[in-house]
A and B are shown apart, each in its own frame.
Chain A
Amino acid sequence: MSPLRSLLFWRSGSPTRLALARLRSQTRPVTTPTARFLGAHQSLSVIVGMSIVTAILPFIILLPPFNGFGTQTDFVDGFAQAGVWVLLAVGLNVVVGLAGLLDLGYAAFFAIGAYTYAYGASPFSHNHIPFWPMLLVGAAVAAIFGLLLGAPTLRLRGDYLAIVTLGFGEIVPVVFNNSDQYTNGTNGITALYQPSLPIYGNFGFGDPVPYYVTVAAIIAIAMILLYRLQDSRLGRAWMAVREDELAAASMGINTVTTKLLAFAIGASTSGLAGVYLSSKLSIVSPPQFSFTVSFTVLAMVVLGGMGNIWGVAAGAFVVYEIQSQGLKQLNQFVSGFPPLHLGPLNIDLTSIDFLNYQYLLYGLALVGMMLLRPEGLFPSRRRRAELHDIDDAAAGNQELVEP
């Protein structure tokens, strides 16, 4: 059934029958040998995939469309930065994609992770704890805040959760901004210590390569853990809660604990990203963690395909590169265009700063994706089946039979 037709003719099917059909379609084994191998060895495929991607990306500068855009160092630095967003997106994917909870204050946990590192390793706090244990500490502190916020609020209905997290996301930067003697207020905490490795020594400022390799490793570990979780009893519980909370509860799933764990695990991934980002930039300040961060990560998750870890990671990477590089290049690209005069229309592309339209594009993308392709660009099979189940019922469950 075409999307347009399905918008015009909604019909609801019996939820129980649909749920059964959905389950049947998912428990059938994947057919091609490669897909079966990758499905059975997800950790291995993450390691191999991330290694290949990490090794190839720095050489993308040698290819024609990219070779005019700057030096290799700029590129690797951009990739090291993109890693932060990939981490954020795979973390938010647990909350939004797997457990189906809308978290609009995700940047708060990012901020908490970043400030945790700032306390652990900066002249401001007179501490110098090494970066590597701080990664775990940052993740743990963020997870604790996730539990603290989630424990009372996850008993509420899903849409209340969205607004509570939105409020929390607003409060956290305000608190960091106003608590001058603890966080140095608007100026933020500066000169955070760089990570170091026993043989390699300190990570330098000018050289993005160690950061790039570090973030790739963190992403790979996070993705392996998240894949393991997704296939665990807990992961199945997340999806059951997402699809029908009442049914899940009646099957004996403790929905509050299940949602709480999704929330905490998402928060801890965000905390990891915060620790990494603050060590890379060597500064934390409240405006870095505004609502636009949460919104951007949500757009990445929705575009990439909610529920699909690889899809979300790719979505985040592509969106970040478009935002940080593509729009800038577009400005340069049109700078030579002559203004067009088409009757009453005066089109002067050079006067448009495409960077200003970044959030407009995200907004349009969110609405457009939800209306036309809610499963995202790289959908997970299960999510697609779920988001389309009403059309499928009308179409006689045709699409549930996977090609």
Chain B
Amino acid sequence: MDVGILTYQALNGLTIGAMYALIALGYTMVYGIIELINFAHGDVFMVGTFVTLWLLTTLGVQGAINNPALLVILLLVMFAFSMTIMGLVGVLIERFAYRPLRRAPRLAPLITAIGVSFILQNVIQATYGTAPLNTPQVIDPEAGVTFSMPTFNVGGFAVTSSNVFLPYVHVFIIVLAIALIVALQVFVQRTRLGRAMRSTAIDRDAAQLMGVDINTTIALTFFIGSALAGAAGVAWCMNYGNTKFDIGFQAGLKSFTAAVLGGIGNTTGAALGGFLIAFVEVFSSQLGYARWSEAIVFSILILVLVFKPTGLLGQQLAERA
């Protein structure tokens, strides 16, 4: 048994999981507050990668930045830019596609969500074309640390370890995602606006009677969720160095699976689900089932919904007519 490969794949899973977790948070927050599956959310993430590509092209960034001070500034600019733009896009989507249908039959906003998803995809496709585009990787993907895991041999059970290469960009993405998740938790649990969000999620009418501005609160939820998807978009560009107009569909479905697996409406659950789904994906590829990893993830989605619809950490939601 080679712990080196296991460790490498686990770190890989953490990196991919960090991105899924960031996207899944948007799904779970929106579902928590207005009970809508925001099908367009995966495409918001995809647009985030293109916003990053546009920014880097405009700034004239070609590849890795070696000056530490410059790199920090550039990273701050990239995240601030992508998160702000995507947050505003999310607010616009909510304002024009979902808010007018808030009291319409449930089917109506679901259909507009699908429509918005296709609009975003096709606007990007019309602007950037269908071919995958390379994005500059501002943190050199070749830079990193190499280490090996301890090895031992107990009664003929030999555990070996090949060298593990951990790029700094993976470390950065994992740390960033965890920081954002913790910040979101603090925001939702400790601040006045977070309390408004939670109370709106529990009972919109009662929250309104207590003086919560429902429209602002829902718009804020969309802003935060979409901004996190924008952050995931930047992370995607840094990790893979390329993007394509249709990455949002798969990433969105997997992240939604993550949100459901963790318990929809529960932010900690969404983060946990993101990491779990990424592990499933990475290790199924490692075992030689790369072609089946999507099918495995969706089977998990169906099985979770059938046997434990509340997810791992979710609570029973009352049926609302």
Name the distance in Å between B86's Cβ and chain A's nearest Cβ: 19
**Is there an interface contact between A153 and B302, defined as CB atoms closer than 8 Å?**
yes
Known: A153-B305, A158-B106, A170-B294. A163 touches B115 (CB 8 A): no
**Is there an interface contact between A298 and B298, defined as CB atoms closer than 8 Å?**
no
For A295, list chain B residues within 8 Å (CB): 114, 118
**Is there an interface contact between B105 and A386, defined as CB atoms closer than 8 Å?**
yes
B-facing residues in A357-397 (Cβ within 8 Å): 357, 359-360, 362-367, 370-371, 374, 386-387, 390
A-facing residues in B276-304 (Cβ within 8 Å): 291-292, 294-295, 298-299, 301-302
**Is there an interface contact between B118 and A167, defined as CB atoms closer than 8 Å?**
no
Dominant secondary structure at the A interface:
helix
Dominant secondary structure at the B interface:
helix
For A7, list chain B residues within 8 Å (CB): 100
One of B102, B114, B123 near A10 (C-beta < 8 A): B102
Q: How far is the CA of A159 from the CA of B103 in the complex (A)?
A: 15
Q: How far is the CA of A157 from the CA of B265 in the complex (A)?
A: 15
For A348, list chain B residues within 8 Å (CB): none
**Is there an interface contact between A356 and B126, defined as CB atoms closer than 8 Å?**
yes
**Is there an interface contact between A298 and B114, defined as CB atoms closer than 8 Å?**
yes
**Is there an interface contact between A164 and B301, defined as CB atoms closer than 8 Å?**
yes
Name the distance in Å between A18's Cβ and chain B's nearest Cβ: 12
B-facing residues in A316-369 (Cβ within 8 Å): 356-357, 359-360, 362-367
- Whether, in the assembled complex, B92 has its beta carbon less than 8 Å from a beta carbon of chain A, the answer is no
Name the distance in Å between B318's Cβ and chain A's nearest Cβ: 11
**Is there an interface contact between A171 and B111, defined as CB atoms closer than 8 Å?**
no
Binds B, one of A82-90, A96-104, A133-141: A96-104
Q: How far is the CA of A363 from the CA of B121 in the complex (A)?
A: 10
Q: Which residue of B lies closest to A365 (CB)?
A: B115
One of A10, A166, A298 near B111 (C-beta < 8 A): A298
Q: Which residue of A lies closest to B303 (CB)?
A: A152
Known: A102-B107, A360-B123, A387-B108. A159 touches B36 (CB 8 A): yes
One of B115, B257, B292 near A370 (C-beta < 8 A): B115
- Whether, in the assembled complex, B249 has its beta carbon less than 8 Å from a beta carbon of chain A, the answer is yes
For B119, list chain A residues within 8 Å (CB): 360, 363-364, 367
- Whether, in the assembled complex, B125 has its beta carbon less than 8 Å from a beta carbon of chain A, the answer is yes
One of A153, A170, A367 near B253 (C-beta < 8 A): A170
**Is there an interface contact between A174 and B110, defined as CB atoms closer than 8 Å?**
no
Q: B-facing mask of A12-29, CB < 8 A → 1, else 0?
A: 100100000000000000
**Is there an interface contact between A153 and B295, defined as CB atoms closer than 8 Å?**
no
Q: How far is the CA of A374 from the CA of B97 in the complex (A)?
A: 13
- Whether, in the assembled complex, A227 has its beta carbon less than 8 Å from a beta carbon of chain B, the answer is no
**Is there an interface contact between A168 and B298, defined as CB atoms closer than 8 Å?**
yes
For A48, list chain B residues within 8 Å (CB): none
A-facing residues in B84-136 (Cβ within 8 Å): 96-97, 100-112, 114-119, 121-123, 125-126
**Is there an interface contact between A158 and B107, defined as CB atoms closer than 8 Å?**
yes
- Whether, in the assembled complex, A160 has its beta carbon less than 8 Å from a beta carbon of chain B, the answer is yes
- Whether, in the assembled complex, B248 has its beta carbon less than 8 Å from a beta carbon of chain A, the answer is no
- Whether, in the assembled complex, B238 has its beta carbon less than 8 Å from a beta carbon of chain A, the answer is no
For A167, list chain B residues within 8 Å (CB): 253, 257, 298, 301-302
One of B97, B125, B292, B302 near A168 (C-beta < 8 A): B302
Q: How far is the CA of A167 from the CA of B39 in the complex (A)?
A: 13
**Is there an interface contact between A362 and B309, defined as CB atoms closer than 8 Å?**
no
**Is there an interface contact between B126 and A357, defined as CB atoms closer than 8 Å?**
yes
For B10, list chain A residues within 8 Å (CB): none
Q: How far is the CA of A362 from the CA of B299 in the complex (A)?
A: 29
One of B35, B102, B256, B299 near A163 (C-beta < 8 A): B256
One of A156, A175, A366 near B309 (C-beta < 8 A): A156
Most buried by A among B101, B107, B298: B107
For A399, list chain B residues within 8 Å (CB): none
Q: Which residue of A lies closest to B299 (CB)?
A: A171
Q: Which residue of B lies closest to A166 (CB)?
A: B253
- Whether, in the assembled complex, B73 has its beta carbon less than 8 Å from a beta carbon of chain A, the answer is no
- Whether, in the assembled complex, A291 has its beta carbon less than 8 Å from a beta carbon of chain B, the answer is yes
- Whether, in the assembled complex, A246 has its beta carbon less than 8 Å from a beta carbon of chain B, the answer is yes
For A390, list chain B residues within 8 Å (CB): 103-104
- Whether, in the assembled complex, A178 has its beta carbon less than 8 Å from a beta carbon of chain B, the answer is yes
Name the distance in Å between B100's Cβ and chain A's nearest Cβ: 4
**Is there an interface contact between A366 and B321, defined as CB atoms closer than 8 Å?**
no
**Is there an interface contact between A359 and B108, defined as CB atoms closer than 8 Å?**
no
- Whether, in the assembled complex, B306 has its beta carbon less than 8 Å from a beta carbon of chain A, the answer is yes
Name the distance in Å between B25's Cβ and chain A's nearest Cβ: 17
**Is there an interface contact between A371 and B112, defined as CB atoms closer than 8 Å?**
yes
B-facing residues in A19-75 (Cβ within 8 Å): none
**Is there an interface contact between A367 and B321, defined as CB atoms closer than 8 Å?**
no
Name the distance in Å between B107's Cβ and chain A's nearest Cβ: 6
**Is there an interface contact between B103 and A10, defined as CB atoms closer than 8 Å?**
yes
For A371, list chain B residues within 8 Å (CB): 96-97, 100-101, 112
Q: Which residue of B lies closest to A96 (CB)?
A: B107
**Is there an interface contact between A363 and B305, defined as CB atoms closer than 8 Å?**
no
**Is there an interface contact between B114 and A366, defined as CB atoms closer than 8 Å?**
yes
Q: How far is the CA of A156 from the CA of B310 in the complex (A)?
A: 11
**Is there an interface contact between A374 and B309, defined as CB atoms closer than 8 Å?**
no
**Is there an interface contact between A360 and B295, defined as CB atoms closer than 8 Å?**
no
For A178, list chain B residues within 8 Å (CB): 291-292, 295
Name the distance in Å between B171's Cβ and chain A's nearest Cβ: 32
- Whether, in the assembled complex, B319 has its beta carbon less than 8 Å from a beta carbon of chain A, the answer is yes
Most buried by A among B105, B106, B257: B105
One of A244, A245, A370 near B112 (C-beta < 8 A): A370
For B115, list chain A residues within 8 Å (CB): 362-367, 370
- Whether, in the assembled complex, A192 has its beta carbon less than 8 Å from a beta carbon of chain B, the answer is no
B-facing residues in A263-309 (Cβ within 8 Å): 291, 295, 298, 302
Q: Considering the complex of A and B, which 8 residue pairs feature the smallest CB-CB distances, nearest first?
A: A366-B115, A363-B118, A360-B122, A167-B298, A363-B119, A367-B115, A152-B306, A7-B100
**Knowing that A168-B302, A371-B112 are A-B contacts, what are 11 other residue pairs whose CB atoms are under 8 Å apart, sorted by A's residue number?**
A10-B102, A159-B36, A159-B110, A160-B305, A163-B256, A174-B294, A175-B295, A177-B291, A356-B126, A363-B117, A363-B122
Taking beta carbons and an 8 Å cutoff, which residues of A are in contact with B? 7, 10, 12, 15, 96, 100, 102, 104, 152-153, 156-160, 162-164, 166-168, 170-171, 174-175, 177-178, 244-247, 291, 295, 298, 302, 356-357, 359-360, 362-367, 370-371, 374, 386-387, 390
